[in-house]
Structure 1
């Protein structure tokens, strides 16, 4: 279970190809679609960072303002939106602030 960063930090997605490559390269991926102006996103951020550090999931951060086209293609209409992928396939999508225990449980179920 290799991480693309040694310290379990979330990875900032640069474009659609980068996102697709990361989803393809890792068994379990959590994609966090967020915006800097989004209060609930800021509330969720420490939880997402803990998921990156403490679980097998690779956590990807997608700034919907920076990557508007990507967000539109993925049908992201509100933030925060969290998508879980297992072996390249989308397994779950959650909208809004989530409980850490719930997120950890999803990751463990995908492992």
Structure 2
């Protein structure tokens, strides 16, 4: 009887250790070499180097070229935040006033302009106010 109790105690301790190790690895994030998880909020990007790094780290990146004074950009903001929270795409935000050279590099002539990158390359460009369904379908096409 005492041996049975010791065996049960040993098994329970083993289960607890395994559970704690599993929880710790979940909190640590992706394993080395694994694709980083996409952020659940838009990532502000300042400059070509930051944009290149963001695009190279993630499979699908939606870049929102915007301006603070732009009405349609402000209307698009909740849509972009929802896309960041609910999809596997990383959403990057580029303020065209602060990053005029970067905007020119990507041919942004009006805001909002959204550029979708897939596997490090520009795959699609959307200019003007977009509805959420259109953005989601574009992302799903490349995800």
User: RMSD of the alignment, in Å?
Assistant: 1.0
TM-score (norm 1): 0.94
- Aligned-partner SS, 1:37: coil
**Cα deviations by residue, 1:59-101 (Å, 9 ceiling, x for unpaired):** 0000000011111111100000000011101110000000101
Give the equivalent residue in structure 2 for 1:12: 44
- TM-fit CA distance, 1:34: 0.1
The verdict on how the C-alpha distance between 1:17 and 1:61 changes in structure 2, with shifts beyond 3 A counting, is same
| 4+ long deviations beyond 2 Å | 1-5
Give the equivalent residue in structure 2 for 1:27: 59
Counterpart-to-counterpart distance in 1, 2:38 and 2:89: 11
Give the equivalent residue in structure 2 for 1:2: 36
**Cα deviations by residue, 1:2-32 (Å, 9 ceiling, x for unpaired):** 3364xx0100002110101111110000000
TM-score (norm 2): 0.74
Structure 1, unaligned runs of 5 or more: none
Match of 2:73 among 24, 28, 41: 41
- Aligned-partner SS, 2:139: helix
Q: Is structure 2 residue 95 aligned with structure 1 residue 95? A: no
Which structure's residues are more often strand, by fraction?
1
Counterpart-to-counterpart distance in 2, 1:16 and 1:45: 22
Counterpart-to-counterpart distance in 1, 2:57 and 2:130: 26
Relative contact order: is structure 1 or structure 2 higher (C-alpha 8 Å, sep ≥ 6)? Answer: 1
